[in-house]
Structure 1
Amino acid sequence: MVLTVEQTRIPVTGVHRRYTKRRLAVTDALDFWSFAGAAANVAMQMMNPGVGHGVVESKVDSGALMKRPWKRARTTTQYLAVAILGNEKEIDAFREAVNVAHRQVHSAPGAAVKYNAFDRNLQMWVAACLFIGFEDSYQLLHGRLSEEHAESFYQSAAVLATSLQVPRDMWPATRGDFDDYWVRACAETRLDEPVAAYVDDLLHLRMINLPMRLVFGSLLRFLTIGFLAPYFREQMGVRWSAADQRRFENLFVFVGFVNRFIPRFLRFGGSYSLMMDLRHRISAGKPII
Structure 2
Amino acid sequence: MTTVGLTNGVANIIMQLSLPPVGHGVSESRVHSGSPRRYPLKRARTTGQYLALSVMGSDEDRAVMREAVAEVHTAVHSRADSPVKYSGNSRELQVWVAMCLFKYYLDQYTLVHGPLDDHTLDELTRAAEPLATGVNVRSSEWPQTWADYQRRWDETLPALSIDPVVHHEFETLSDLTFVGEAWGSIGYALARVGGPAYQFMTRATLPPEFRAMMGWDWTAADERRLQRVLKVLRVLDTVINPFALQLFYRLYIADFRLRRRLGRPVLGGLHVIDTPIRDGGGLRRLARARLRKSV
TM-score category (smaller protein): 0.7 to 0.9
1:132 Cα deviation (Å)? 1.0
Name the structure 2 match of 1:243. Answer: 221
The secondary structure found in structure 1 opposite 2:85 is: coil
Are 2:262 and 1:284 aligned?
yes
205-214 vs 85-94, which moves further: 205-214
Name the structure 1 match of 2:20. Answer: 49
AA partner of residue 41 (structure 2)? W
Rounded Cα–Cα distance in structure 1 between residues aligned with 2:131 and 2:237: 25
Q: TM-score, normalised by structure 1?
A: 0.85
Which structure is higher in helix share? 2
Kept in 2, the 8 Å contact 1:56–1:195? The answer is: yes
- Deviations 1:71-93 (Å, cap 9, x if unpaired)? 11111111000111111111011
Are 2:155 and 1:184 aligned?
yes
Name the structure 2 match of 1:102. Answer: 73
Rounded Cα–Cα distance in structure 2 between residues aligned with 1:184 and 1:149: 23
Kept in 2, the 8 Å contact 1:139–1:145? The answer is: yes
AA partner of residue 262 (structure 1)? I
Kept in 2, the 8 Å contact 1:40–1:225? The answer is: yes
1:66-215 matches, cutoff 5 A = 66-109=37-80, 111-208=82-179, 209-215=187-193
151-160 vs 74-83, which moves further: 151-160
86-95 vs 256-265, which moves further: 256-265
Name the structure 1 match of 2:286. Answer: none
Rounded Cα–Cα distance in structure 1 between residues aligned with 2:112 and 2:164: 35
The secondary structure found in structure 1 opposite 2:164 is: coil
AA partner of residue 246 (structure 1)? R
1:265 Cα deviation (Å)? 3.4
Are 2:189 and 1:218 aligned?
no
1:127 Cα deviation (Å)? 0.3
Unaligned runs of 5+ in 2: 180-186, 268-295
Rounded Cα–Cα distance in structure 2 between residues aligned with 1:76 and 1:261: 26
AA partner of residue 183 (structure 1)? D
- Deviations 1:176-230 (Å, cap 9, x if unpaired)? 1111111111211111132122112212211121221122111111111111111
Rounded Cα–Cα distance in structure 2 between residues aligned with 1:35 and 1:81: 14
Unaligned runs of 5+ in 1: 1-28
Are 2:246 and 1:275 aligned?
no
Kept in 1, the 8 Å contact 2:176–2:194? The answer is: no
Rounded Cα–Cα distance in structure 1 between residues aligned with 2:175 and 2:195: 7
AA partner of residue 20 (structure 2)? P
Kept in 2, the 8 Å contact 1:37–1:133? The answer is: yes
Kept in 2, the 8 Å contact 1:32–1:270? The answer is: no
1:275 Cα deviation (Å)? 0.7
Kept in 1, the 8 Å contact 2:24–2:83? The answer is: no
Kept in 2, the 8 Å contact 1:140–1:249? The answer is: no
Name the structure 1 match of 2:280. Answer: none
Quickly say closer, same or farther: Cα 1:268–1:45, change in 2 above 3 A.
Answer: same
Kept in 1, the 8 Å contact 2:129–2:142? The answer is: yes
The secondary structure found in structure 2 opposite 1:260 is: helix
196-205 vs 115-124, which moves further: 196-205
Name the structure 2 match of 1:64. Answer: 35
Find 1:234's aligned residue among 207, 212, 224.
212
Paired residue total:
260
1:110 Cα deviation (Å)? 5.4
Rounded Cα–Cα distance in structure 1 between residues aligned with 2:248 and 2:117: 28
Q: TM-score, normalised by structure 2?
A: 0.84
AA partner of residue 268 (structure 1)? Q
Quickly say closer, same or farther: Cα 1:32–1:273, change in 2 above 3 A.
Answer: farther
